[in-house]
Copies of this chain bind each other. A is one copy, B any other.
Amino acid sequence: MAEVEIVKNKQVLLRDYVSDFPKESDMIISTDSTISLKVPEGSNGVLVKNLYLSSDPFMRRFMQVSQPARSKTGFIPYTPGSPINGFGVAKVVDSGHPNFKKGDLVWGITQWEEYSLIAERDSLFKIEHTDVPLSYYIGLLGMPGLTAYAGFFEVCKPEKGEKVFVSSASGAVGLIVGQFAKLLGCYVVGSAGSKEKVDLLKNKFGFDDAFDYKQEHDLDAALKRCFPEGIDIYFENVGGKMLDAVLLNMRMNGRIAACGMISQYYSDKPEGVSNMMWIIYKRVYIKGFSVFDYYHQYSKFLDTILPHVREKKITYVEDIIEGLETGPKALIDFFNGRSVGKQLVVVARE
């Protein structure tokens, strides 16, 4: 019988559920844990070495409240003393499952640690195309990319020439939505939270216009300035005041894909949205959606986007943080809006 290699396994643990805005000290770097590099006898789990870990907005919510039991999403509820989890790119070290073998590259839900034994494989995708950066599989070619694709094309059913507004436009999803819209021939405006981000949107990512919502005392006026004829499509990432202002500016039969409402995530008392009557006046369509409902479209999405990526018709920016031990700081910086594009933590390069 072959000797089983046991190694140290550095982890980022949740200290306790967070009641207010998360801070670095709400997580602990632990070096106490060890892991066997073989899947247990008889298990159909997949043992992976984590390469890239993704910081995503939903993680803030998961740190704040106990989630319902594991669902088809593949998430493991965050529990104090256990590693946090999210999207990652990883390499298979050992597999008890016929679909995965040693050496395979995968993306999906994994834990914030060096090695993870993944029992839930419904949301684990094998990476087939490696001529593009591997890290893209937690960004442009992963959950954010599929989110942008599903929300823009499937939910909003856009047409050439339509006027598109994207909030959190410099974020991992917003950047892609804006570029999809430009590729289709739409007019696209984005909002973001700093001058630097606004400049990037206009100069690097091809947005027709952009504004810093923190510098606008009147969001309705800012939208009217950018959309004198109104908005056909709103890709909603923030909620609250922005949604309220957008409703006043929707065109007849406008569509809103509600992807996230990050301004409301850590509020016990969410801001009320007052301009709901405009939903009727302008026959507005609002649809909440989740990327998990569109996993079956992943191949179709990949077939659509890969040619654009290879031809460099889509620009993507990553904010790369080195080392699992810098994970907590990276995550908090991300929650504070300090990153542009896809923020990710490098655990190992291969």
Contacts and interface: CB of A to CB of B under 8 A. Distances in A.
Interface of A: 239, 243, 258-261, 264-265, 269-290, 293
A191 to B, nearest CB: 18
Contacts of A258: 276, 279-280
A276 B270 CA distance: 9
Contact of A283 (B279, B280, B288): B288
Nearest to A284: B288
Question: How would you classify the secondary structure of chain A's contact residues: helix, strand, loop or mixed?
Answer: loop
B290 A287 contact: no
A177 to B, nearest CB: 16
List the number of copies, as a whole number.
2
A279 B287 CA distance: 7
A289 B273 CA distance: 19
Given A276-B264, A276-B273, A281 B285 contact: no
Contacts of A239: 276-277
Contact of A277 (B264, B274, B287, B290): B264
A274 B280 contact: no
B277 A286 contact: no
Contact of A286 (B259, B281, B285): B285
A287 B281 CA distance: 11
Contacts of A259: 280
A134 to B, nearest CB: 30
Contact of A275 (B265, B270, B280): B270
Given A280-B259, A281-B288, A288-B281, A271 B274 contact: yes
Given A264-B276, A269-B274, A277-B270, A293 B289 contact: no
Contact of A282 (B243, B272, B273, B288): B288
A270 B274 contact: yes
Contacts of A289: 280, 283
